[in-house]
Amino acid sequence: MSCYRMTDTSVQNDRIEHETINLTYKSSLRFRGKTNVIRESLFNQANYYWIGLISIGTPEKTFIINFDTGSTDLWVPSIQCLSTCENKAKYDLYSSYTSRANGATFRIKYGDGSYVNGIFINDTVTIANSSVLNQAFAHAKNISGFSLSTFDGVLGLAYPSLGTSGQIPIFYNMWQQGLISNPIFSFYFNPNPNSYPGGELIFGGVDSTKYLGSITYVDVIIPAYWEFMMDSVQTNDKIICSNCRAILDTGTTLIVGPSNQIALLNYAIGGIYDQETGLYTVDCYTRLLSDFPDVEFSIGNMTFTLSVLQYLLISKDNDNFVCYTIFQGINLRDNRGYLIWILGDYFLSRFYSIYNVKRNQIGLAKSISYNYLQINPKSLFGNSSNKNYFQYILQLFILIIILVIRNIFFF
């Protein structure tokens, strides 16, 4: 699984400005008094990504899907996809009597180098028992970079300007067809990989039981990705960046930023660059937890804090544990050429996120799972040295007792 999966806009349409789809619609009166929402349960895949189930066609074919706010289109493998689609569910347009010809070509390349090629088709797409009629999606004939992923396809939730061939995204059709009463959606990710369900995606609303305190809203500055201005990133009172551009991306695992800023952040934490993985390692054997600083993200004049056990990845290599930070340096740009930060799943699993299409805003609030901490081996964070020290004291005490007994009985 790649650490980030952001749409490469170089292969998208030449459209830069968002061609806003009219959210009122001529039949908007049919929404009056409705409070419809669609609730999609999500599964936590070892904190690398959160996935859910959808079905396509009539009769329905079920697919495991990665819901991605960093891209726009929906795609699933085609029955015509062979070697690169092994062990994945495949769509057969000839088996569905609700399929309709579309013919537009589909090609998307993600920031980690993976790509998908295929053809658009229209069919019924069902999410949590709600059916979106005549939805355009791509059935992929060529897929690269997804062989290790447990999901079959990707459902994009970014703005239409990132889409290909002018197809209307599924979220907009949900609203147009009256399946939801409000043009917003929201994510809750549970960072406990053993929890079920592992999260929730709500189309058309917000779940107030999944966050604590108030919601902080900021405006989207370019309606393509869910991009906004981040006031600052800092740690140990050291400013890493100020007035920096950022996006919320559920399709990215880690927190990604410009290479020089991420290098500065990791240096402040005590991270050392690992050439093999492209990540930064820290000494989590001898350093105490109290030696690691918090990392603070200032958004909308509110501070969103990650502590050390929230920003470390602990991996086992043979009998040894290796600790990586979740901060990865890659120079990625938005569709106007600006360097951006990507706040991925390790951020979104601590903060409930809301995406409002009508107001062009994102919202963040502290998740109810904010305080969940991964279970760490007792040998880490200085505990090993303390354990050895106490073992030494115990052994010394036993030795003294033995010597005293010997002196009593032999002298």
As annotated, the active-site residues are 68, 249
**Residue 65 and residue 52: Cα distance in Å, rounded?**
5
Q: How far apart are the first and last CA of the chain?
A: 70
Given its phi and psi angles, is residue 37 left (phi above 0), alpha (psi -120 to 50 degrees) or beta? beta
- Say how far apart CA 273 and CA 326 lie, in whole Å: 12
My answer on whether omega of the bond before 197 falls inside 30° of 0, hence cis, is: yes
Helix (H) or strand (E) holding 386: helix 383-410
The CA distance from 159 to 375, in Å, is: 38
Q: What are the distances in angstroms from CA 345 to CA 5, 45, 67, 104?
A: 11, 11, 12, 32
Which uninterrupted H or E stretch holds 342? Answer: strand 341-343
Nearest alpha carbon to residue 67 among 257, 191, 249: 249
**Which backbone phi and psi does 305 adopt, to 5 degrees?**
-105, 135
Burial class (CB in 10 A: 0-12, 13-18, 19+), 84: middle
d(CA 205, CA 189): 16
What is residue 240's three-state secondary structure?
strand
The DSSP string of 255-323 is EEE-HHHHHHHHHHHT-EEETTTTEEEE--SSS-GGGSPPEEEEETTEEEEE-GGGSEEEEEETTEEEE
Q: Give the 3-state secondary structure of residue 123.
A: strand
The DSSP string of 142-203 is: EEES-TT-S-SEEEE-S-GGGSSTTPPPHHHHHHHTTS-SSSEEEEEE-S-TT-SS-EEEEE
Half-sphere exposure of 334 (CA within 13 A, CB side): 27
* DSSP 8-state class, residue 333: B
